[in-house]
Amino acid sequence: MAYGENVLMEIDDGIAVITINRPKALNALNIDTLNELKSAALAADAAKNVKVIIITGAGSKSFVAGADIAQMRDLKVLEGRQMTMLGQTVFGIIDNLDKPVIAAVNGFALGGGCELAMACDIRIAAETAKFGQPEVNLGIIPGFAGTQRLARLIGKGRAKYYIFTGYMMTATEALELGLADKIVKAEELLDVCRDIAKTIISKAPVAVMMAKKSVNHGLDMDLASGVAYEAEAYTTCFTTGDRVEGMSAFLEKRKANFIGE
Ligand code: DAK
């Protein structure tokens, strides 16, 4: 499925901004939106003119207020399972894209919205953002990997506290817990995310990609295996011309000109 209705994408200056575009439903994720998000994310990852991806929600109130409850209510058991599998697959794709992904959390990031933000590499929150996993209010549990990613990000006990109660976190609480990485004024959110993206773009692309793979895969392994994986990722960086360029530029006291090879 293509994107362009429920999910928009604009590419400028090496940055793809993907916007979940259902503001009347607070950008809730229905099946079509998940499929469009998958297409947009894969297209951005494959596009030569994209170096960093930003994901945000349309409007000023909500990033994503969760999976679409109206659609979910009428699903039969196996359809519900398919929707969970779809969401887990799409968010797994986002987590494992070669390019860095920044979540610009511009409001409610609840349920599937919190899970989407957690599938991104970095979360920048507007002061007005609210995070939470309120699925227990609906008789379900987080179904797009929230029980897994939240526990990995903020710890087992605190993840259970928020998942069992459905309590919302303010942006400040999310920052203290390590769920948000930075808080900014709402009106500055996209500019700050673009500035962070530009900083990342100025670095050696293969090094950034290998750092992402090393952190992601390493966290799924024991320490010794993660360290061994890091050594291989490090060695891959050593094979690039950008490694020689970066080190030469430092010694010659000039700015490095990275080409991504
Ligand atoms: N789905 C569908 N519509 C939603 C929605 C959602 N998640 N959230 C909000 N809306 C709609 C509202 O119904 C309302 O529509 P109209 O009445 O105007 O037609 C409109 O957006 C504006 O919302 P409110 O009028 O409620 O706005 P308020 O400012 O009063 O409240 C709120 C904002 C975010 C606090 C409130 O809307 C809210 O509590 N929303 C629901 C948040 C939530 O519970 N999110 C978690 C969804 S569950 C699985 C698959 C997936 C998942 C789990 C399992 N399987 C299939 C097993 C994941 C689940 C979730 O994400």
d(CA 176, CA 152): 15
Of 77-81, 111-115, 160-164, 166-170, give the lowest mean pLDDT range.
Answer: 77-81
Q: Which residue's CA lies nearest to atom 11 of ligand 1?
A: 25
Please give the span between the terminal C-alpha atoms of the chain, in angstroms, as a whole number: 32
Q: Which residue's CA lies nearest to atom 21 of ligand 1?
A: 25
In a domain, 256, yes or no: no
In a domain, 260, yes or no: no
- Atom of ligand 1 at shortest range from CA of 110: 45
**DSSP string computed for 199-249:** HHHTS-HHHHHHHHHHHHHHHTS-HHHHHHHHHHHHHHHHTSHHHHHHHHH
Same domain, 91 and 137: yes
In a domain, 175, yes or no: yes
Q: Which of 165, 181, 201 is the last residue of a domain?
A: 201
* Residue 122: its H or E element: strand 122-126
d(CA 63, CA 77): 28
Ligand 1 mean position, distance from CA 20 (Å)? 14
Tokens 């409850």 locate to: 69
For residue 35, is pLDDT > 80? Answer: yes
Same domain, 197 and 213: no
R_g of the chain, CA atoms, integer Å: 19
If one counts the domains in the chain, the total is 2
pLDDT of residue 69: 96
In a domain, 259, yes or no: no
Query: Helix, strand or coil for residue 123?
Result: strand
Q: Which residue's CA lies nearest to atom 2 of ligand 1?
A: 68
Same domain, 120 and 230: no
Same domain, 86 and 170: yes
Q: pLDDT category, 85, cuts 50, 70, 90?
A: very high
Active site members? 115, 135
Same domain, 161 and 124: yes
Same domain, 220 and 196: no
> Tens digits of per-residue pLDDT, 216-236?
999 999 999 999 999 999 999
Average pLDDT value over all residues in the chain: 97
- Atom of ligand 1 at shortest range from CA of 112: 61
CATH number at residue 217: 1.10.12.10
pLDDT of residue 1: 75
pLDDT of residue 108: 98
pLDDT of residue 29: 98
In a domain, 37, yes or no: yes
Whether 9 contacts 44, CB under 8 Å: yes
Tokens 């990995």 locate to: 152
Give the burial class of 219: count Cβ atoms within 10 A of its Cβ; 0-12 exposed, 13-18 middle, 19 or more buried: exposed
Ligand 1 mean position, distance from CA 91 (Å)? 19
Same domain, 211 and 108: no
Same domain, 26 and 42: yes
Same domain, 109 and 224: no
Could you list the residue range(s) of the whole structural domain that residue 245 is in?
205-251
CA distances from 160 to 88, 92, 151, 164, 199 (A): 20, 22, 8, 6, 35
Same domain, 215 and 237: yes
Average pLDDT over residues 143-170: 97
Average pLDDT over residues 195-208: 98
Query: Helix, strand or coil for residue 142?
Result: coil
* Residue 3: its H or E element: none
Pocket test for ligand 1, best of 62, 69, 167 (most atoms within 8 A of CB): 69
Same domain, 64 and 78: yes
Binding pocket residue ranges, ligand 1, CB within 6 Å? 25-26, 28, 65-70, 72, 80, 83-84, 87, 108, 110-112, 134-135, 137-138, 140, 142-144
d(CA 90, CA 76): 21
Q: Which residue's CA lies nearest to atom 13 of ligand 1?
A: 25
Average pLDDT over residues 31-58: 98
Whether 84 contacts 45, CB under 8 Å: no
pLDDT of residue 59: 97
Q: pLDDT category, 103, cuts 50, 70, 90?
A: very high
> Which of 42, 65, 50, 60 lies closest to 10, judged by CA?
50
Ligand 1 mean position, distance from CA 29 (Å)? 9
Same domain, 96 and 170: yes
One-letter amino acid at 221 equals M
pLDDT of residue 109: 98
